[in-house]
């Protein structure tokens, strides 16, 4: 095995240009795919943090009596997925509107009567933050008597969820394309190396060298290429993350969301995947030569 490793390193050093192209290609592929993963990871954290702040507003009909209001409150507390409810009277809602719209308070002063309805502000448990569960819960609440309307920003949730799913699909597609392209480039690099050393390989076969003895160094060469390309790609991504991550963190500090780099397990998977790509490229080309 030691001699095979030495031969693999020797081939890499003797064909610096070809191997440098392969390693750079792998590094760029890892950089792009890892950047997708990093963006996906932090957008998922942001989406999860945003969903924790979702409140369902249950607006009551104007003619709702005190007894009906209390009955609705009891029925809301009995629903699965609801953590807490808070009653907001129309007088409290108007005061809150005045506080949030200080420059338009003169418009509110001219109102002859309070146009806002009484409402319940519903807080959800963490397990009920998916768009499907929120929609199902909202439909159940809408079926209660004296409930005029239920609002929770469903259009924004659906749009963001659709965008998120589309982004995941694009990431999977990009990863597949770069995987195939990198395997192809690695295979052709090994092919050129084999072509440049065809006479040496023929002599080795004439003196009794087995195919395994001849091919193992090229498998190791692909592994080394994958390892180096993956390490360089992750290092470039971390450098870019360190340079711009702090700026995004300042913008999201109010949302209590921490921008984070890829976990070590994910980085290890990327490095392992890069080595597998290098090995596959070497295997396909060595076995076809």
Domains recognised in the chain with CATH numbers: 2-50+158-287 (no CATH), 55-152 (3.30.70.3040)
Nearest Cα to Cα of residue 82 among 107, 58, 62, 98 = 58
Res 235: pLDDT: 93
* Residue located via tokens 């795919």: 33
Please give the mean pLDDT across all residues of the chain: 77
Task: Tell me phi and psi for residue 124, to 5 degrees.
Answer: -100, 155
Yes or no: say if 24 and 229 are a contact pair by the CB < 8 Å rule.
yes
- Residue 170 predicted with pLDDT over 90: no
- pLDDT greater at residue 268 or residue 256: 268
Which pLDDT band, with edges at 50, 70 and 90, does 277 fall under? confident
pTM here is: 0.62
Task: Retrieve residue 141's tokens.
Answer: 């609440």
Give the Cβ contact number of residue 273 at 10 Å: 17
**What gap in Å lies between CA 184 and CA 181, rounded to an integer?**
5
**What gap in Å lies between CA 171 and CA 197, rounded to an integer?**
39
19-65 pLDDT, tens digit each = 788 888 888 888 888 888 888 888 777 777 666 667 788 999 888 88
In sequence order, which residues have a C-beta less than 8 Å from that of residue 284 and are 6 or more positions away?
A: 183, 187
- Residue 97 predicted with pLDDT over 80: no
Query: SS3 breakdown of the chain: % helix, strand, coil, rounded to 5?
Result: 75, 10, 15
Res 241: pLDDT: 87
CB pairs under 8 A, 24+ apart, for 108-117? 114/90, 116/90, 117/59, 117/60, 117/61, 117/62, 117/90, 117/93, 117/148
Give the highest mean pLDDT range of 45-49, 59-63, 129-133, 189-193.
Answer: 59-63
In sequence order, which residues have a C-beta less than 8 Å from that of residue 137 and are 6 or more positions away?
A: 56, 79, 81, 82, 124, 128
Which pLDDT band, with edges at 50, 70 and 90, does 115 fall under? confident
* Percent of the chain whose pLDDT exceeds 70: 75
Which pLDDT band, with edges at 50, 70 and 90, does 234 fall under? very high
Yes or no: say if 92 and 170 are a contact pair by the CB < 8 Å rule.
no
Which pLDDT band, with edges at 50, 70 and 90, does 236 fall under? very high
- pLDDT greater at residue 88 or residue 6: 88
Nearest Cα to Cα of residue 168 among 157, 160, 179, 158 = 160
Give the Cβ contact number of residue 76 at 10 Å: 21
**Mean pLDDT, residues 213-229 taken together:** 81
């Amino acid at each position: 095995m030691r001699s095979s490793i030495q031969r693999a390193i020797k081939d890499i050093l003797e064909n610096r240009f070809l191997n440098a192209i392969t390693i750079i290609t792998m590094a760029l592929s890892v950089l792009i795919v890892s950047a997708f993963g990093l963006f996906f990871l932090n957008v998922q954290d942001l989406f999860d943090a945003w969903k924790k702040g979702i409140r369902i507003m249950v607006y009551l009909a104007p003619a709702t009596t005190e007894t009906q209001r209390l009955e609705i409150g009891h029925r809301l507390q009995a629903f699965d997925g609801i953590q807490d409810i808070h009653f907001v009277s129309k007088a409290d809602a108007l005061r809150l509107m005045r506080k949030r719209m200080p420059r338009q308070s003169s418009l509110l002063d001219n109102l002859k009567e309070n146009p806002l309805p009484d409402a319940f502000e519903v807080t959800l448990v963490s397990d009920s933050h998916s768009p499907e569960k929120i929609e199902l819960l909202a439909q159940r609440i809408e079926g209660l008597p004296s409930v005029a309307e239920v609002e929770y920003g469903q259009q924004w949730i659906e749009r963001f969820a659709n965008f998120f799913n589309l982004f995941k699909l694009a990431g999977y597609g990009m990863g597949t394309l770069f995987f195939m392209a990198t395997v192809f480039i690695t295979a052709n690099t090994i092919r050129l190396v084999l072509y440049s050393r065809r006479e040496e390989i023929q002599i080795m076969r004439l003196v009794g060298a087995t195919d395994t003895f001849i091919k193992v160094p090229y498998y190791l060469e692909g592994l080394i290429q994958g390892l180096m390309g993956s390490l360089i790609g992750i290092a470039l991504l971390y450098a870019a993350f360190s340079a711009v991550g702090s700026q995004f963190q300042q913008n999201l500090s109010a949302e209590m969301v921490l921008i984070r780099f890829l976990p070590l397990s994910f980085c290890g998977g990327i490095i392992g995947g890069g080595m597998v790509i290098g090995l596959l490229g070497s295997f396909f080309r060595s076995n076809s030569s």
